[in-house]
Structure 1
Amino acid sequence: MAATIATIAELGYHQASFARIAERAGLSSTRLISYHFDGKDDLMGHAITSIYGDLSAFMSRRVSARTTPGAALETYIRSLVEYIRDHRAEMRAATEIFLNFRPEGGSSAQDAATNLSALSHIERLLAWGQESGEFGRFNTRVMAMAVQRSLDGLPFLLEADPDADLDEYAEELAALFARATRA
Structure 2
Amino acid sequence: MRSENESTSQKKRSFIEQARRAQIVDAAAEVVAEAGYAQTSLARIAERAGISKGVITYHFTSKDEILRLVATQFFDRGWQYMESRIAAQETAAGQVRAWIGSELEFFGAHRTEFLAMSDIMANHRSEDGSHAYAAELAEEVDGLAEILARGQRDGELRRFDPRVVANIILRCTDGVLETWAFDPDLDLEAQSAVLLEFIDHAIGKE
Name the CA shift for 1:66/1:170 in 2 (closer, same or farther; >3 Å). same
CA–CA distance in structure 1, aligned partners of residues 101 and 28 of structure 2: 28
* Structure-to-structure mapping, 1:73-84, within 5 angstroms: 73-84=96-107
Which residue among 1, 4, 7 is the counterpart of 2:31? 7
1:40 aligns with 2:54: no
Give the total of aligned pairs.
Answer: 181
Name the CA shift for 1:131/1:125 in 2 (closer, same or farther; >3 Å). same
- What is residue 87 of structure 1 aligned with on the other side? 110
How far is the alpha carbon of 1:106 from its aligned partner?
A: 6.1
Name the CA shift for 1:56/1:126 in 2 (closer, same or farther; >3 Å). same
- What is residue 177 of structure 2 aligned with on the other side? 155
> Given that residues 78 and 107 in structure 2 are in contact (C-alpha distance below 8 angstroms), is that contact kept between their aligned partners in structure 1?
no
Amino acid aligned to 1:100: N
Larger RCO (alpha carbons 8 Å, 6+ apart): 1
CA–CA distance in structure 1, aligned partners of residues 140 and 27 of structure 2: 28
Secondary structure in 2 matching 1:153: helix
- What is residue 66 of structure 1 aligned with on the other side? 89
| Cα deviation code 1:38-78 (max 9, x no counterpart) | 11112211221112111111111211121111211111121
- What is residue 127 of structure 2 aligned with on the other side? 104
CA–CA distance in structure 1, aligned partners of residues 200 and 108 of structure 2: 22
CA–CA distance in structure 2, aligned partners of residues 72 and 100 of structure 1: 30
Name the CA shift for 1:116/1:101 in 2 (closer, same or farther; >3 Å). closer
CA–CA distance in structure 1, aligned partners of residues 82 and 166 of structure 2: 16
How far is the alpha carbon of 1:118 from its aligned partner?
A: 3.0
Q: Structure 1 length normalisation: TM-score? A: 0.89
- What is residue 17 of structure 2 aligned with on the other side? none
CA–CA distance in structure 2, aligned partners of residues 121 and 110 of structure 1: 16
| Cα deviation code 1:116-146 (max 9, x no counterpart) | 3330110011012112211111110121011
Listed as ranges, the gaps of 5+ residues in structure 2 are 1-24
Q: Identity across aligned pairs (percent)?
A: 35
CA–CA distance in structure 2, aligned partners of residues 72 and 147 of structure 1: 13
CA–CA distance in structure 2, aligned partners of residues 140 and 96 of structure 1: 28
The RMSD of aligned alpha carbons is: 1.9
CA–CA distance in structure 2, aligned partners of residues 68 and 161 of structure 1: 34
> Given that residues 41 and 104 in structure 1 are in contact (C-alpha distance below 8 angstroms), is that contact kept between their aligned partners in structure 2?
no
1:139 aligns with 2:172: no
Amino acid aligned to 2:87: S
Which residue among 139, 157, 160 is the counterpart of 1:117? 139
Listed as ranges, the gaps of 5+ residues in structure 1 are none
